[in-house]
Structure formats: structure tokens, C-alpha cells
A and B are shown apart, each in its own frame.
Chain A
């Protein structure tokens, strides 16, 4: 089976840096996605990691360690609009299926 863990909630200050962790246990691991989802909206694609290491994309970076079953999403220079749910999703198997974690609700405060 699959097990994906993320913190339920996090709070951070505008302008700061926040790291959202995701640990997973799964068979047939292909890669890991991060999505942002604002309330009432569809998830928005942020990143996809296949190989170990850090992928940087503007203010957002994502890290993967396949051997440790661990990923994190790093958000820099936080803005109020970054308040959202952040979903970690593991891609598995030959059918490229995604299994989602429960999401981390991030609140950015002044």
C-alpha cells in the first residue's frame, strides 16, 4: 500500500522562508509532485522531482531523496497569496497514477 505524510497545518510570516515536508512509503515509485490549491480552486502544478536533489523554480524549490522516501517544498520570500493548501503526490506504477497526501494548510501572516 501507500502511506504519505505531511503536516496538517503550518503558519509563517510574510517575507520569511517555510519548508513543507513530505514522507512516503510506496512501491513502484516513479516521481513526486507538489501542487498548490487555494480554497475552492483546482490544484496548480508546482514541481515534479524524479531524481535526488533540489529543483529550483523562482521562489519555490523542491527536494527529493528517493532512498529516504522524503521530499520537501521550500517557499522563499513568502507572500500573503501563498496562503493555500500544499499537496504532495507520489507517482507510482506503470500507469503513472498519483496518490495524494492529505495536504498542508499554510497560513501566511503579517
Chain B
């Protein structure tokens, strides 16, 4: 299975600032996704990161708040902009590899004060 790393693993940020989370995969993958998992809840899809084009956002998520880059088939970034305490969550990168497995990175635990 694909090996996925995320940076940072955790961060504590001030209200109004922005944080960029990186996701690196050890092999080329077609599909990359970003999820959010709020405390005590299940995972919610934020967007699909498309290589070479704009990300596809789910209902309730917008590009101005969560800009995403996907410059190649092994890397993506998610920025959480103008943060508020409600953005405190775990942010997870996910990829689909060639054998129909869907795997998750270790997550970035974000706390906004």
C-alpha cells in the first residue's frame, strides 16, 4: 500500500492565522482527498485534490477557506485560512492506489486558540 506522510503532525495556532498542511505519497496516485475529523466525530470529505486543475469542494467547504494545491501526482497541500476555534480538528490526507485500496495519512491535529 502507499505510504503517506503529513506535515506538521500537530500545531497550535492563533485565531485569524493560516496553516498549510502538506501531504506526501511515496508513489504516484491518481486520486488524493482531504478530510476533516472533528473531536468525537467521523470523517467528512472537504475536497478532492485534482492534479493540474482546481480542487473539487464538497458542500459546506469553499476554496477561500480551504485552498488546495496538487502540483504533481505525489504531493498536495491544504491550507486552513483565517482560522477560528471551530477549525480545531484532525485533517487527513487520503489516496487511492492502484489496487483499489483507500489509505489515510497519519493526520494533522490542529488546535486553534
A interface residues with partner B (beta carbon < 8 Å): 33, 35, 41-45, 48, 87, 89, 91, 95-103
Select A101's contact among B42, B96, B106, beta carbons within 8 Å. Answer: B42
On whether the beta carbons of A96 and B106 are closer than 8 Å, the reply is no
Judged by a CB distance under 8 angstroms, whether B33 is at the interface is: yes
Chain B interface mostly: strand
In addition to A43-B104, A97-B33, A100-B43, 10 A-B residue pairs with Cβ atoms within 8 Å of each other are A43-B92, A45-B101, A45-B103, A45-B104, A96-B31, A97-B45, A98-B45, A99-B45, A102-B42, A103-B42
On whether the beta carbons of B107 and A42 are closer than 8 Å, the reply is yes
Q: Which of A42, A44, A48, A99 has the most CB atoms of chain B within a 10 A radius of its CB?
A: A42
Chain A interface mostly: strand
On whether the beta carbons of A48 and B101 are closer than 8 Å, the reply is yes
Select A48's contact among B31, B45, B48, B102, beta carbons within 8 Å. Answer: B102
Judged by a CB distance under 8 angstroms, whether B41 is at the interface is: yes
Number of A-B contacts (CB under 8 A): 47
Alpha-carbon separation in the docked complex, A101 to B44 (Å): 10
What is the minimal beta-carbon distance from B42 to any residue of chain A, in angstroms?
A: 4
Contacts A95-B56, A97-B48 hold; do A102 and B102 have CB atoms under 8 A apart? no
Alpha-carbon separation in the docked complex, A96 to B45 (Å): 11
Alpha-carbon separation in the docked complex, A33 to B42 (Å): 14
Alpha-carbon separation in the docked complex, A103 to B43 (Å): 9
Alpha-carbon separation in the docked complex, A99 to B106 (Å): 19
Contacts A95-B56, A96-B96, A97-B33 hold; do A45 and B45 have CB atoms under 8 A apart? no
